[in-house]
Structure 1
Amino acid sequence: MQNKRTLDDWLYWQETLMEETIVLGLDRVQIVYDLLFPSGVPYAVITVAGTNGKGSTVSFIDSIYHKSKYKVGRSTSPHLLKYNERFAIDGKEVSDELIIKAFELIETKREDVTLTYFEFSTLAALIIFAEASVDLAILEVGLGGRLDSVNVVDSDVSIITNIAIDHTDYLGDTREAIGREKAGVMRTAKPCICGDQDPPQSLLSYAKQIKTPLTLISESYKNEIGLEGAHQKLNAAVAVKAIESLADRFPVSISMITEGIKKARVAARFEKITIGDKTVVLDVAHNPAAVKALINTLSENPMETVAIFSALADKNIVDMIELASGTIKHWFLVPISAERSIDLESLKNKFDEPESTTICLNMNSAISQSLELNEIKRIVIFGSFYTITDAFKIIKKFNVNSFWS
């Protein structure tokens, strides 16, 4: 190992360590975690799992605590434009130097234990937050819950936003199977807040089995929120309940909650950008449940809308298209820079009306063509985190204000 490596060097090296990008299981990461934190992490932890809404829920919690005196770490994934987005302290992304320092510490401890890219990220977050002496850390689960590396930490409060069909190769193809995987983030005698409106029996049974105090949220947050969509009001209610469950250790005022929820922002969750006379909506919706929420939010303000769309081949693309087709007048299909992306001819063939689609050479072409449609006032870009990343690299050229500006 060289002593001086750039962050990009470290990330490239981590990607070469294991052939598979996703390797679930806690055996490897547990060994290194115990070496780094033999007594556990020195701060309180909120773990956030769920199929959709994790990032938004993390944002609501982080924004509320940002109004308080507490020092708070936030770990999310994936990143959109740069790796540093994964780690923030009091709302500010951490530097390359702090991340590299954490990687170097992991490297001195792991010996012959092979870690995945995501396991390095999880452990780095825990180290960075410990070095910064945070009071509390909010950790977003990457995939599932039970076997995700974030679950190596015993949380003080767990959150399960909802259960929908996604990542079936890893989590199972039923809500019952997926629910059991998500339920793995629960801890005995530690509160769990669940926002699913029809929680699987597997989740309820596991909570009862390990004696987790489970709170089911059925009523949405009533006041003003910083994110658009009815589903976000439910995420906000989940966030508030989680904060209330820690009120004995980290009390916050009603005004802090109100202001925090109102000020919450998160990239590419119905993020609106104005370009000329067009509204461009960026949304990372990448499974049917998320697309349904996206379309419901678009329907709150009906207008002629076109889509720029692509997806990973292992997603339920047919259902995503079917849910959106009644709202989308025309589809611009784009290639995305991901190994698991779908071939565009195959994507076109999934449409009942292929004539409603245009295959584009790249994202730049798709955005240019959609902006030239005089009668269209709204362009929605969705289907994958990769789609949004590629889109924003082009949109930046228009000097627009956005979450990333």
Structure 2
Amino acid sequence: MSTDTKASSLNRPTRLVLIGIGGYGHFYIEHIRALRSQGAAQLSAVVDPRSELSPDWPEVQQLGIPVYPTLEAYLAKETPAELAIICSPIPYHADQTCAALAAGMHVLCEKPIAATLADGRRMQAAADARPDLFLEIAYQWSFSRAIQSLKHDILQGELGAPLRLRTRVAWPRDKAYYTRNNWAGCIQTPQGQPVFDSPVSNATAHYLHNMLYLCGPTIAQSARPLRMEAECYRANPIETFDAACCRLTLDNKAELLFYTAHCVDVEDGPHFCFEFENGTVSYSNGTELRAVFKDGSKRSYGKPGDDTMRKLDICAARCRQPSPDICPPAAAMAHTVCVHGFQEVTPHVFKPEQLQIKGEPGASPLTYFPAMNQAMIDAYDAGKLFSENATTWAMPAQSIDLTSIQT
């Protein structure tokens, strides 16, 4: 390839196919609009069986973007795009990722990698079979400048070994959240596909993954969780759980504590405190990520939420100019192991008289457990699980050997 031809290839926009434009796909549409104006990328097709229900449907029609009900229909009619963005429901991630890789497309797949470890391994195998392509899992904090800078310092040894990392996040979710599709809060879809939907696997998954990722031995790896002590609670009429806490022991001996809930009436978090041998890293509700070292020095890494679509920027550019992995399957699977661990815990179901319901007339009602948010704060501050912190309603934690799940 001549220098001029290579330069022309590098300068033309990356062709994208977006698989799933409902829900979170809207944010991809918004960012692709910005990339299109910069000449960095263009949306060449959409795959979604119900695309007309998306708020972005009028724009897709106006731009004349081809729309297909399935990935198979798209591949039968179109030259594959360079990058497939998979933003479909979790049970479809594995099949669509494997098909996209087999068709010669790089893949950016939304989190989590898959519902099951078997599907995650299948995706890993499909990526291994195409070393000329990349597969990234879109945990956006992993791609942020703030987290990348922090992980660089961790890997350089500036903070010393990780000792104890804590995160809590309380995000209310009302009835509309649990009725927006046929798998929210479910163990499996009506078709029998595993989904394991919960705060741990979906809305707050980023923050559990973030701790595992930062403790990983390389930029593109997470730490391996070996043991879990966990408690799960249920306020809403769902199959899984809407509040949980856990303690994880990692292969590097670090301890992770995670607290998450949807059955709360106040949005609070994420908050985290990461303790290392040489200092402490903290973050709270959109503030800057800051480290305070034992010698008294301080360092700011910026705000991890400031560049949530950097994942797409990096992957679109990577189709033109190769660069190292950031969050491949090897980094994402540790979180899936934890999701499987939580499925071995029997949720404690709150009694109706323990719950409260609120909502303005005509609004979707919110069912919550009034003591949950304060319990999360207290347990987080003490570095304990709910049941260890003199919480009268808490049930004893269940212990899970995660090494058996991974074999």
TM-score, normalised on structure 1?
Answer: 0.29
Q: Looking at both structures, which has the greater relative contact order when contacts are Cα pairs under 8 Å and sequence separation is at least 6?
A: 2
Greater fraction of residues in helix:
1
Greater fraction of residues in strand:
2
TM-score, normalised on structure 2?
Answer: 0.29
